[in-house]
Amino acid sequence: MGSRTLIIVASAHWPTKHLFKTGRPSRTDPPSTRPGPSSAATSSLSTLPFTAPPGAPFAATWSKTCFAPAESRSFLSYVIQDTHEYKKNTVRVLKNARFAVFCILLSMCFGVPMSDEEIEKVDDILKKVLVTLLPRIDDFLPMFGMLFFNQRKRVMEVRRAQIQTILPLIERRRSMIQNLGSDESAPSFAYIDTLFDLKLEGRKSSTPSDEELVTLCSEFLDGGTDTTSTAIEWGIGRLIQQPECQSKLFEEIKSTVGDRKVNEKDIEKMEYLNAFTKELLRKHPPTYFLLTHAVTRPTTLAGYDVPEHTNVEFFSAGISDDSTVWVDPMEFNPDRFLSDKEDADITGVKGVKMMPFGVGRRICPCLGLGTTHISLMIARMVQEFDWSAPPNVRTLDFSEKLEFSSQW
């Protein structure tokens, strides 16, 4: 397979020039590192080859997907139930937030009613997909491929199980669309609707196959579940660590909505909540590294010549902690975004100081959806509960652990 050049960008000064002024040379995905017979199955489990070309059509379909407020309202019932089933007045934030976000995304993705058993089955298979995709030594040294025969066989087994689990949901939604009015309770729109008739240029088959639809739906669910729920857990941790932030947020919610439940339209009016969410994403980006970019033609970066096919990684945590563009970057301080003290365009159009969702042409198409989920769930949790550490915990440990996302 040979060697591959890798560049890691950890300064806030270079992404703007690299992704906007000279963005096209690095806007594609790198080629797969997995050689041999399992390559096709592995790429099917994760990012398909046809999503890589510039101008890939899937971003538009993600950004069309709407918010599902009904599922968010049931989130607090999981929290309340957990206080009784786990320990009195103790809540496992990540567990409940993850399940709630996953249910929301399932509804948005397929738009079909699902039993608890079906939800757990889909969740289980998607977790297996992520574990199966963990790097192996034969990804980089193909000569050892035969030593991992069982692991490659496992990839094929997980892929079959993934198709068998998710394809029936796709077929159910397809049947609903073909028989309009058969189920009046069904949502009028779902993410999968945008993929059925999607036209793909440069292919014999102009629409995605069933197997490709399975992969695209899996990426939609995986991409938004752990990242969003992890951010919510970090947010509650910061509110416990800084009770004054929790008090400010509660007072803003009270003055904005009174005694009724806060909804997604209210959060647009809440200045402190939006500042808190932005600071949360600055200090705790869901992933340390964004999706890898690959240089499509020779270019320059920071005065260095960058050859074609070079991998470029953006270290989002390092960019957010850059002391040359932030005041006290290691401090968690939502007030920095109030009264014009500091500012940062989260999309990066006005300049890159933080990039939790990426920036440029390959920015995450669900940026608005993700920030809405995070802000609304945190607002609802603060509105209903007074959050504090368990009695036996004096100080919170903010050490991180690396899983699919950076977790507390």
Q: How far is CA 402 from CA 129, 357, 407, in A?
A: 17, 18, 6
pLDDT at residue number 91: 77
Residue 366, number of CB atoms within 10 A of its CB:
22
Torsion, CA 220, CA 368, CA 279, CA 226, rounded to 10: -20
Q: Where are the beta strands (DSSP E) in 336-391?
A: none
Q: Which two tokens stand for residue 237?
A: 């941790």
pLDDT at residue number 69: 46
3-state secondary structure of 314: strand
Give the rounded percent of residues in the chain with a pLDDT score beyond 70.
Answer: 76
Selection from 286, 284, 278 nearest residue 403 by Cα = 286
Q: Which two tokens stand for residue 363?
A: 């920015």
Cα atoms in the 13 Å half-sphere on the side-chain side of 327: 8
**Separation between Cα atoms, residue 334 and residue 311, nearest integer Å:** 34
Selection from 372, 134, 368, 404 nearest residue 287 by Cα = 404
Residue that is written with structure tokens 């489990």 in the block: 45
Residue 368, number of CB atoms within 10 A of its CB:
15
- Does 364 carry a binding-site annotation? yes
Residue 383, number of CB atoms within 10 A of its CB:
17
- Ramachandran category for residue 202: left, alpha or beta (phi over 0 → left; psi -120 to 50 → alpha): left
Question: In sequence order, what DSSP letters do the residues of 109-130 get, joined into one string?
Answer: HH-S---HHHHHHHHHHHHHHH
3-state secondary structure of 228: helix
**Separation between Cα atoms, residue 46 and residue 33, nearest integer Å:** 12
* Ranges of each domain in the chain: 6-407
pLDDT at residue number 334: 95
Give the rounded percent of residues in the chain with a pLDDT score beyond 90.
Answer: 28
- Parallel/antiparallel/unpaired status of strands 311-314 and 6-9: parallel
> 151 with 139: CB under 8 angstroms?
no
Q: Which two tokens stand for residue 343?
A: 């500012």
- Ramachandran category for residue 345: left, alpha or beta (phi over 0 → left; psi -120 to 50 → alpha): beta
**Separation between Cα atoms, residue 152 and residue 172, nearest integer Å:** 31
**Separation between Cα atoms, residue 48 and residue 212, nearest integer Å:** 8
Per the document, the length of the chain is: 408
Q: Sign (positive/negative) of CA torsion 174, 178, 183, 185?
A: positive
Could you read off the pLDDT tens digit of each residue along the chain, which spans 408 residues? 456 788 888 887 766 556 655 555 555 556 555 444 344 444 444 443 333 333 344 444 444 444 444 444 455 555 555 554 555 667 788 888 888 889 889 988 998 888 889 999 999 999 888 888 776 776 667 777 777 778 888 888 999 999 999 999 999 999 988 887 666 666 778 899 989 888 777 777 778 889 999 999 998 898 888 889 999 999 999 999 999 999 999 999 999 999 999 988 899 899 999 999 999 999 999 888 887 777 888 888 777 888 888 888 888 888 888 888 899 999 999 999 997 778 888 887 777 888 888 877 778 878 888 899 899 999 999 998 899 888 788 788 887 776 655 455
pLDDT at residue number 55: 37
Q: What share of the chain is helix, strand, coil (3-state, %, to 5)?
A: 55, 5, 40
> 273 with 378: CB under 8 angstroms?
yes
**Separation between Cα atoms, residue 42 and residue 23, nearest integer Å:** 28
Backbone dihedral angles phi then psi of residue 60, each to the nearest 5 degrees: -65, -35
How wide is the angle at C-alpha 76 spanned by C-alphas 70 and 80, nearest 5°?
145
> 186 with 111: CB under 8 angstroms?
yes
Question: What single letter denotes the amino acid at residue 408?
Answer: W
pLDDT at residue number 242: 94
6-407 belongs to which CATH class?
mainly alpha
Question: What single letter denotes the amino acid at residue 268?
Answer: E
pLDDT digits (tens, 9 = 90+) for 224-244: 888 899 999 999 999 999 999
Q: What is the 3-state secondary structure (H, E, C) of 124-151?
A: HHHHHHHHHCCCCHHHCCHHHHHHHHHH
